[in-house]
Chains A and B, each alone.
Chain A
Amino acid sequence: MQKFYFWALALLTAVMIIPACKDARDDEFAGFGSVEIEFENQAEGDALVFGKNYTNAAGESLQFSLFNYYISNVVLVNENGDRFVAPKDSCYFLCKHDDPDSRLIRINNVPAGNYTGLEFVLGVDSAKSVSPVTERLGVLDPATGASGHYWSWNAGYIFMKMEGNSPASANPDNKFQYHIGLFGGFNSPTLNNLKTMKLTVPAEAARVRQGKEAPHFHMVVDALEVFKSPNVLSIAANPAVHASPFSKNIADNYADMFTIDHVHNH
């Protein structure tokens, strides 16, 4: 009889606990939260400093004075492989090295979950690049937010802008200047330098929960990667690259300058 009570009690407890657990888990994944993504530019393993001497893969000494890039079309992938695509009206960012606020981007209304994957485009996708002028707001407004990042003669955005100086450059003031754009053309094809990054967290997933502080993806962006692989870029040979077939080499290089260093959950 005692044995019966024991098992009855055990069963009752189990019946009570299991749904309770399940409810708790359901609650945990109910609702929406936010994520933050911080882009930390680095060179030679430390925070990038304008005006400091570095050496590129071609062995050339250089200093940076400008490093900006567009990030767009952010996608978060959870541990089950479900994808959350940031809405089109809030997925364009222009990250400028000298403006730390611009390098901390926030995605809101993300379904609660454990996110292990992060995807984004370096550049401004072709649909947005051909959109009506009324849909070019904020960092996409050629007169304001996109000032200096819009080619008016070859209508499109400059995806990445890197400038500096190097003794290897024969240009005035030893300048080097890389302005990389081209989204593939509107009516007929052109070069396409858009690159989609698909990154995975190194360890801990980003835990998005309703009412909780946003988890923080800490990205490291290696500025010297632009000179490194797969194509070693020599400033002496190519001190200035704009809209040209050669720009593809630089785009192929910046396609792997991003890594998720760590995720910080609060």
Chain B
Amino acid sequence: MKYLSFFLLLALFACRDTQPPVEEPFQGPELPTNFPAPSYDLTLNPVTEAGFNLGKKIFYDRILSRDSTISCADCHISYSAFSHPDHPTSHGIDNLFGRRNAQAVQNMLWEKEFLWDGGVPNLDLVPLNAIQSPVEMDNTPAEVLHRLKQNAEYKAMFKAAFGTEEITTARFLQSLSQFMAMLVSANSPYDHYVRGESGGDLSAEALEGMALFKAKCASCHTTDLFTDHSFRNNGLLDDFSFDKGRYEVSQLPEDIGKFRVPSLRNIEATSPYMHHGNLKTLEEVLDHYASGVKDSPTLDPLLRQPDGTLGIPLTATEKARIISFLKTLTDEKFLRDARFAE
């Protein structure tokens, strides 16, 4: 009898081993409870597995560029939250450099405007910019569609995603949006902390840093998205002749030198920093805000203290604590998610 139960147990394990692995059903984009409602209307472009797979293939495909050398992923790399590590600005086609730091691609569903100057209002339209930019892909959307239409694999994938083989501008762009919609980062230690989940034990230093952050940084880096989506001049430069920022879109003089307030999620993994990419470390970033702010007519009023000094007063200890807090925004699960990597 003793042996029988042993063999039964063994049989049970044997059965389990011979069963096929259970396929995880496709899950659409995660909508974290600590985030506000998304800005992107998912009902206009529901995310499906086939649409996501198609968008991912396009994202990693170099045929998007004129000479088939540059893909989206060349400047938006998964392990750095789809930013471009170690590149102040990125090199595109013919080794030409762009003017601005390649931004992270994460939590796009919650963005209202895109690019450093907010020149594009809708996620669907964002890829057209890189495709047409003479220093990025230097191609035309018409040529991209033409190339996709020549490709049997794409035809099949468009059919799987949208019902027919027809390859239109809208389908092409919506599939890329479906891929980007899935890039949700909301599982950092900070997220676990605010949602009261396991893995949310923050160090005393990080908690002190959080309090300092709320007092000194959170007027611009608001909500759990860590941005108020506004355009501000943060005093990085005082000469904007090279890049006028938001002004280039709005043509309003009060917008000269203003750039989008970026999210701080995965900030540890997205060096270098700022629109110009000229700050390499978080220490340099906080030094900038503490003592490096440059004056110009459009400098953000929050960076002018009542006594006339510029910037945000921070001691060395405070800076270290804030950096400790910022590192709790690193979402290892997102950075290493095999669904998103090439």
Contacts and interface: CB of A to CB of B under 8 A. Distances in A.
Interface string B19-51: 000000000000000000000010010000000
A133 B140 contact: no
A29 interface: no
A245 interface: yes
B144 A155 contact: no
A132 interface: yes
A144 interface: yes
Nearest to B131: A152
A154 interface: yes
Contact of A144 (B112, B131, B169, B174): B169
A155 B252 contact: no
Nearest to B125: A155
Given A142-B128, A144-B169, A152-B132, A191 B251 contact: yes
B203 interface: no
B251 A243 contact: yes
B133 A153 contact: yes
A47 to B, nearest CB: 30
Contacts of B41: 132
B133 A133 contact: no
- Classify chain A's interface size: 20 to 34
A245 B248 CA distance: 10
Nearest to B130: A152
B141 A147 contact: yes
B174 A133 contact: yes
A187 B115 CA distance: 14
B250 A244 contact: no
Contacts of B252: 189-191
B128 A150 contact: yes
A152 B125 contact: yes
A130 interface: yes
Contact of B251 (A132, A142, A144, A182): A182
A143 B125 contact: no
B251 A244 contact: yes
A144 B142 CA distance: 6
Contact of A245 (B113, B173, B251): B251
Given A185-B250, A243-B248, A245-B251, A133 B142 contact: no
Interface in A99-158: 130, 132-134, 136, 141-144, 147, 150, 152-155
A29 B112 CA distance: 49
A199 B142 CA distance: 37
Interface string B105-128: 000000011010011111011001
A143 B142 contact: yes
A92 to B, nearest CB: 15
Contact of A152 (B118, B120, B121, B172): B120
Contacts of A185: 250
Contacts of A150: 128
Given A150-B128, A153-B115, A134 B170 contact: yes
Interface in B82-99: none
A187 B44 contact: no
Contact of B141 (A132, A142, A243): A142
Contact of B121 (A143, A153, A155, A244): A155
Given A133-B125, A147-B141, A245-B251, 7 more contacts: A132-B124, A134-B174, A141-B168, A142-B169, A143-B145, A153-B129, A247-B251
Interface of A: 130, 132-134, 136, 141-144, 147, 150, 152-155, 182, 185-191, 243-245, 247
Interface of B: 41, 44, 112-113, 115, 118-122, 124-125, 128-129, 131-133, 140-142, 144-145, 168-170, 172-174, 248-252
